[in-house]
Amino acid sequence: MTEVDEPQFSGDQFFSEESRKALAEASQLLADRLQAHTQALLAMTGGPDEQDALYEQNVALEELVEGWNDAVFELTGTAPLLLEEETDEPEEEEELLEQDHVITVVSRFDLRVVDLDTLLDAGRAAQERHPAELDDSGEPDPVDTAEQAIYEISREVGEAWFELPGVDLVAGARAYVVPEYPFEPLEADADDVVTEISAPNGIVTHAETWA
């Protein structure tokens, strides 16, 4: 016997006439249901058309077993069966269904500068056509490095890794990931952006590589 609580042998709480009658009724219902359940199962042959009937028989018996177990507890303060209680799993599943459908795309491209002058000219032209917001100095950042030139071109046309003037693509890769929950989104205002550029745990649905 599984003791849920130590029985307090008090006429005020347990072993009342009401709880005795309730247990007697629950026991009789369970006995009748168990006999009917057994007869129904013995008559079955295992055919696919019997699945619904089998399910209904099991549900009906389960409900009466739970009622009988509760009646025993109401009488004695103990439960003979340690039945599984309802968990929050259905609610958790509903929460997952309600969560946003997030896809993380992570890319990396390694570039080799083969003609710095051509790249700088293209970067300066892109800056003129698509100037960035100026800081307090009122002057745009000078395009005198490969990094600045690539930045200016990317601001204007997006990911132009395959068509950057004066640049060869050494290698590139891109992964599409459906992250696992709990999911921590990228912090766009993080002090260390590099640490944020990584794929979260999840399922990689697609991947591309170039070399």
141-182 pLDDT, tens digit per residue, is 889 999 999 988 988 888 888 889 999 999 999 899 988 887
| Encoded amino acid at 117, one letter | D
Mean pLDDT for 99-120 is 89
Residue spans of the domains in the chain: they are 17-76, 88-114+167-211, 116-165
Strands 104-113 and 202-210: unpaired
The answer to whether the beta carbons of residues 78 and 5 sit under 8 Å apart is yes
Backbone phi, psi, residue 118, to 5°:
-65, -40
pLDDT of residue 89: 55
- pLDDT cut 90: percent of the chain above it: 22
| Encoded amino acid at 22, one letter | A
Mean pLDDT for 16-42 is 90
Burial of 133 (0-12, 13-18, 19+ CB in 10 A): exposed
Task: Tell which wins on pLDDT, 72 or 89.
Answer: 72
pLDDT of residue 165: 92
Instruction: Decide: pTM greater than 0.85.
Output: no
Mean pLDDT for 60-89 is 81
pLDDT of residue 210: 87
Buried b (16+ CB within 10 A) or exposed e, 165-199: bbbeeeebeebbbebeeeeeeeeeeeeeeeeeeee
